[in-house]
Amino acid sequence: MNTTSLAIRVGELNAVADSVGEVISTLNAASGDLGPGEITAAVTEVIDQWQQNLGKMRDKIGTIADNVRGAVANYESVEQGGRDRMMALADETVAEQLVQGLVRNAPDVQVANQHSRQGQGGSTGGGRRHR
């Protein structure tokens, strides 16, 4: 999921909503007395409809933005959970390998210790091993 792309789209939607808002403001400012007839009433009706639709559009953009934020948070949470599980597995694997290495090397360490003790004047005749 490209969360950056989603966030950019939300920003673009907000920019469009801002542009529509500016058009509405311009129409509203220019809609004073447009002369005889129903022109002023018609422009006012258009402005009202656009404002209502802009409100709905901003609500939808807000919902989209909330959904994007939720998706990003969920994505980050899942990603962190995967990282945590992998770290725990790596730690467990390293610990197992260390223990296995110690267990595997324990007889060698015992023999080396015996040789060391024998080399210090032990009872086997000057540190030599007889077979």
The CATH number of the domain holding residue 57 is 1.10.287
- Mean pLDDT value across residues 48-73: 90
101 in a domain, yes or no? no
**Which of the four pLDDT bands, split at 50, 70 and 90, describes residue 17?**
very high
> What letter does residue 124 receive in the DSSP assignment?
T
29 in a domain, yes or no? yes
pLDDT surpassing 80 at residue 1: no
Q: Within its chain, how far is the Cα of 24 from the centroid?
A: 38
Q: For 104-117, what is the HEC assignment?
A: HHHHHHHHHHHHHH
| Average pLDDT of every residue of the chain | 79
Q: How many whole angstroms separate alpha carbon 63 and alpha carbon 22?
A: 22
- Provide the domain count of the chain: 1
Among 12-16, 25-29, 47-51, the range scoring the smallest mean pLDDT is 25-29
**Which of the four pLDDT bands, split at 50, 70 and 90, describes residue 84?**
confident
Among 49-58, 64-73, 83-92, 95-104, the range scoring the smallest mean pLDDT is 95-104
71 in a domain, yes or no? yes
88 in a domain, yes or no? no
Return the percentage of the chain with pLDDT > 70, whole number. Answer: 77
Tell me the residue range of the domain where 61 lies: 3-79
